[in-house]
Amino acid sequence: MIRPALLLVLMAGAPLALSAPELSTVSERSGFTATGRYAEVEQLCAAFQKAYPGAVRCIEFGRTPENRPMLALVATRSGAFTAQAAKQRGLPVTLIQGGIHAGEIDGKDAGFQALREMLEGKLAKGALDQQVLIFVPVFNVDGHERFTKNNRPNQRGPVEMGWRTTAQNFNLNRDYVKADAPEMQAMLALVNAWDPIAYVDLHVTDGAKFQHDVSIQVEPVYSGDPQLRAAGIAWRDGVIDTIRKQGSMPQAYYMSFATTDDPASGFVDGVSDPRFSTGYFQLRNRLAMLVETHSWKDYPTRVRITHNAFVSVLEQVAAHGKQWQQMAAAADARAVALGGQPVTLTYKTTDKTTMVDFKGYAYTRSMSDVSGMLMTHYDETTPQVWHVPLRDEVVPDLVVNAPRAGYLVPAAFAAMVGRKLAQHGIVYRTLGAAIDAAPVETFRADVATFGVKSVESHQRLALKGSWKTESRKVAKGALFVPVAQPKARLVVAMFEPLAPDSLLAWGLFNNAFEPKEYMEEYVAEDVAREQMAADPALAAAFRNKVATDPAFAKNPHARLEFFARRHTSWDERLNLYPVMRMDVAPSSTH
């Protein structure tokens, strides 16, 4: 629930604008050497509302695990300060967030400065008349307050900064689908309420030393609804063109070498998985932009570039947002008809290369007596153009056909899955009666491989297997999740077992792939002899497998399991993915 921040009381007779120092940031006043603590965000959020009561509202949209307020500034000259009002007036909504990684804090300081200058009429005149801006200065609030020097030793400024992850040690930019963190759950609620056409995620990239200062990546460009990609390309190219004219050297791909620490290896473009912001929003048929300033540029430079990108984003949305809304609505309508159609779950970059001139520095590579490996050393006094390969042909990789009707979640898992669906605003219904023999597709794993270490507090799971048609009894209380809804691509990404960020891949169904009942080996030995005595064909099959499969022959457990699988005590649900697919939706009586 979005509610006004506490203590944000408009004062009668408040001036139209406060004096500059009261709306300026610690960063500005320090010459962009420092950044303020979160108390400054709280102060400025209230001050902006007080200074511009007709254009800004300060809202609290969540609380962190350490009980800090998550604040956003809703800025518009339209008077539409609620999601309902914005929707009724057909206004595009732009959500810009800083500090998802709180050490990468350029966006907070750049955003406050840019917003103040826009409200003063110095920049992007009229842009806030045409849209609603939701500015979240710091997404990872608790991480922001883990504040010290050298949190990012490969980043030049500010003097002190926050931490990459939350107080619970979640990396929020791996959490968009699984939504474990309370902060992400609050952000998704904000997104569900306002439905921004454009979502901007402000970062600072790591990496090598070179002259280029920012990358601007957008999806859908390679991914998502093919007809919506034109909007993504136009938005990306518009922002890149604007900031280039302002002196930046942007690229449209993530500037990380194909081979770590080797400039000669060049660059590889691609599509992020849905755990990332740019991989997630294309599944909702909305636009997402990743702004990554370069960590080796000093803080004043990075804030200036982020500031310019911030303003350009809003100018682009003001000019084209209505059209993009129409394109997104058309994509929503196409998604409703996605049942039975191919859906791309992952993308890959081909080996096709283009040689590009990239502005770097002279460098040498030598064997280190510290690490014992080849290391690159840059000479920033000697600019150099690198002629290197760029792989930027991105094509579908894993493609599946969506079920014609939807997915069926057994009652035993309904509460857990239902919470996840609600977090994403996905439509589903609960079956009010059992189905004795539901015609479904089930997925049984031939191979189930658990991750060897924890990832974001989960033990991930990878399967090999296939869907097969059968009839199964379905208990009352199961959930039916239709594909026929605007978020159909997100539904498929969450439920297809081979999808990289499905609920299954994140380990939410691991119990289904863990054997629990067992047969003592001395009992299994007797069962095996009884089965072979009763079924000569089975005995022959067993002896043939022993003779032709050396690994099987050497594995006593596998030999006994050969017979245990044929015993009535064998758990037929083992390695069976609990979620089923349906070609026909359950009737309303269910």
Look up tokens 């007080």; give the residue: 50
Are residues 57 and 96 both part of a single domain?
A: yes
Q: At what angle do helices 556-564 and 536-548 cross, to 10 degrees?
A: 150
Q: Which of 335, 363, 379 is the last residue of a domain?
A: 335
In degrees, rounded to 5, the angle at the alpha carbon of residue 577 between the alpha carbons of residues 575 and 580 is 145
Does residue 343 belong to any structural domain of this protein? no
Please give the residue range of the domain that contains residue 135. Answer: 3-7+31-256+272-335
pLDDT of residue 163: 97
Region 190-208: mean pLDDT is: 96
Residue 349 and residue 393: Cα distance in Å, rounded?
6
**346 domain-assigned:** no
Q: Would you say 374 and 368 are in contact if contact means Cβ atoms under 8 Å apart? A: yes
> Dihedrals φ, ψ of 37, to 5°?
-80, 175
> How far is 180 from 187, CA to CA, in rounded Å?
12
Q: Do 126 and 145 belong to one domain?
A: yes
Mean pLDDT of 22-45: 97
- CA of 157: how far to CAs of 43, 223, 240, 299, in Å? 23, 34, 24, 5
Q: How confident is the model at residue 326 (pLDDT cuts 50, 70, 90)?
A: very high
Rounded to an integer, the average pLDDT of 117-128 is 97
Strands (E), 159-276: 160-161, 198-205, 214-219, 250-251, 267-268
Same domain as 186, residue 309: yes
For residues 91-106, average pLDDT? 98
Report the half-sphere exposure of 188 (CA within 13 A, side-chain side): 26
Asked if the bond preceding 220 is cis, omega within 30° of 0, the reply is yes
- Give kind and range of the element (H or E) at residue 168: none
Characterize the bridge pairing of strands 461-474 and 435-450: antiparallel
By C-alpha distance, which of 204, 171, 228 is closest to 309? 204
Phi then psi for residue 317, to 5 deg, are: -65, -40
Question: Within a 10 A sphere around the Cβ of 7, how many other Cβ atoms?
Answer: 8
User: Can you tell me the distance from the alpha carbon of 78 to that of 64, in angstroms, rounded to the nearest whole number?
Assistant: 31
What is each CA distance from 489 to 403, 453, 485, in whole angstroms?
11, 29, 9
- Count H helices and E strands in the chain, helices first: 16, 24
pLDDT at 517: 83
For residue range 131-160, list pLDDT tens digits in order.
Answer: 999 999 999 999 999 999 989 999 999 999
Cα torsion angle, 562, 568, 569, 572, sign? positive
The verdict on 90 and 127 lying in the same domain is yes
Q: 153 and 284 share a domain?
A: yes
- Contact yes or no for 224/489 (Cβ under 8 A): yes
Please say whether the beta carbons of 258 and 383 come within 8 A: no
Domains contained in the chain, number: 4
- Across 404-417, average pLDDT: 98
The alpha carbon of residue 125 and the mean position of all alpha carbons in its chain are separated, in whole angstroms, by 32
Band (pLDDT 50/70/90 cuts) for residue 20 is: very low
Is 261 inside any structural domain?
no
Are 182 and 201 in the same domain?
yes
Residue 414 CA to residue 408 CA, distance in Å, equals 10
Q: What CATH number corresponds to the domain at position 248?
A: 3.40.630.10
Task: Tell me how far CA of residue 366 lies from CA of 293, 360, 372, 373, in angstroms.
Answer: 28, 18, 10, 8
What confidence tier does 589 reach under pLDDT thresholds 50, 70, 90? low
Instruction: Classify residue 88 by burial, with Cβ atoms within 10 Å: 0-12, 13-18, 19+.
Output: exposed
pLDDT at 19 over 80: no
Pair 291, 150 in one domain: yes
pLDDT band at 590 (very low <50, low <70, confident <90, very high): low
Average pLDDT over all residues of the chain: 94
Q: Where does the pLDDT of residue 6 fall: very low under 50, low under 70, confident under 90, or very high at 90 and above? A: very low
* In-domain check, residue 17: no
Task: Reply yes or no on whether the pLDDT at 11 is more than 60.
Answer: no
* Reduced DSSP (H G I as helix, E B as strand, rest coil) percent helix, strand, coil of the chain, to 5: 35, 25, 40
| 235 shares its domain with 362 | no
Residues 100, 244: one domain? yes
Question: What pLDDT is attached to residue 367?
Answer: 95
| pTM above threshold 0.85 | yes
Q: What is the pLDDT of residues 211-255, one digit of tens each?
A: 999 999 999 999 999 999 999 999 999 999 999 999 999 999 999
pLDDT value at 1 more than 80 = no
Task: Report percent pLDDT > 90 for the chain.
Answer: 92
The pLDDT of residue 564 is 86
Q: Considering the domain boundaries, does residue 36 fall inside one? A: yes
In a domain? residue 152: yes
What would the pLDDT profile of 367-378 be if each residue is shown by its tens digit?
Answer: 999 999 999 999
What's the confidence (pLDDT) of residue 206? 84
**Strand arrangement of the beta sheet that strand 429-430 belongs to:** 429-430, 479-482, 406-409, 580-582, 435-450, 461-474
CA dist 291 and 335 (Å) reads 28
DSSP of 388-448, one letter per residue? EEEE--EEE-SEEEPPSSEEEE-GGGHHHHHHHHHHHT---EE-SS-EEEEEEEEEEEEEE
- Contacts with 307 (C-beta within 8 Å, 6 or more apart), sequence order: 110, 111, 113, 114
Q: Is residue 447 part of a domain?
A: yes
The residue ranking higher by pLDDT, 9 or 581, is: 581
294 and 147 assigned to the same domain: yes
Please give the Cα distance from 347 to 31 (Å, whole number): 43
Residue whose tokens read 């303003």 = 311
Residues 510 and 526 occupy one common structural domain: no
Provide φ and ψ at 17, rounded to 5°. Answer: -150, 140
DSSP category for residue 92 = -
- pLDDT digit string (tens) for 34-88? 999 999 999 999 999 999 999 999 999 999 999 999 999 999 999 999 999 999 9
130 located within any domain = yes
73 shares its domain with 219: yes
pLDDT at 570: 80
pLDDT in tens, 497-550: 999 999 999 999 999 999 888 888 999 999 999 999 999 999 999 999 999 999
Instruction: Give the H/E segment covering residue 474.
Output: strand 461-474
